[in-house]
Homo-oligomer: A and B are copies of this chain.
Amino acid sequence: MKSKITIDDVNALGIGAGILGTGGGGDPYLEGIQLRRELEKHGSQTLLDPQMIDENVLAVVVGMIGAPTAGIEKLREGTEIIRAVRLLERHLGQKFGAIVIAEIGGANSMGPLVTGLQAGVPTVDGDGMGRAFPELQMCSFLLQGDVTVAPLAMADAGVATAVIPKTKTAVWSERLARNLATSMGATAGLACMVMTGKQVKEYCVPYTVSLACRLGERVIQARAKNEDVSDVIARSLGGKVQLRGKITDVFRRTTRGWAQGNLTVESFSDSSVRLEINFQNEFLIAKENGNVVATVPDMICIVVEETGEPIPTERLYYGARVAVIVVPGAAVLKTSDALQVVGPRAFGYDIEFSPLPGDLPASGEILHD
A residues sitting closer than 8 Å to B (CB atoms) are 87, 91, 150, 158-168, 172, 175-176, 178-180, 182-184
Contacts of A167 in B (CB 8 A): 158-161
Contacts of A178 in B (CB 8 A): 183
Q: Complex formed: what's the CA distance from A178 to B176 in Å?
A: 11
Q: Complex formed: what's the CA distance from A183 to B162 in Å?
A: 14
Q: Which of A160, A161, A184 has the most CB of B within 10 A?
A: A160
Contacts of A87 in B (CB 8 A): 165
Within the complex, the shortest CB–CB distance from A61 to chain B, in Å, comes to 19
A178's nearest neighbour on chain B, judged by CB, is B183
A162's nearest neighbour on chain B, judged by CB, is B164
Q: Complex formed: what's the CA distance from A284 to B201 in Å?
A: 58
Contacts of A165 in B (CB 8 A): 87, 161-163
12 contacts between A and B (CB under 8 A): A91-B91, A91-B163, A160-B168, A162-B164, A162-B176, A162-B180, A163-B165, A175-B183, A176-B180, A178-B183, A179-B183, A180-B183
Known A150-B160, A163-B163, A176-B180; 16 more pairs at CB < 8 Å: A91-B163, A158-B172, A159-B168, A160-B167, A160-B168, A160-B176, A161-B164, A161-B165, A161-B167, A162-B164, A162-B165, A162-B176, A163-B165, A176-B183, A176-B184, A178-B183
Which of B150, B158, B168, B182 sits near A179, CB closer than 8 Å?
B182
Contacts of A159 in B (CB 8 A): 166-168
Q: Complex formed: what's the CA distance from A91 to B150 in Å?
A: 16
Q: Complex formed: what's the CA distance from A18 to B180 in Å?
A: 32
Q: Complex formed: what's the CA distance from A140 to B221 in Å?
A: 65
Within the complex, the shortest CB–CB distance from A94 to chain B, in Å, comes to 15
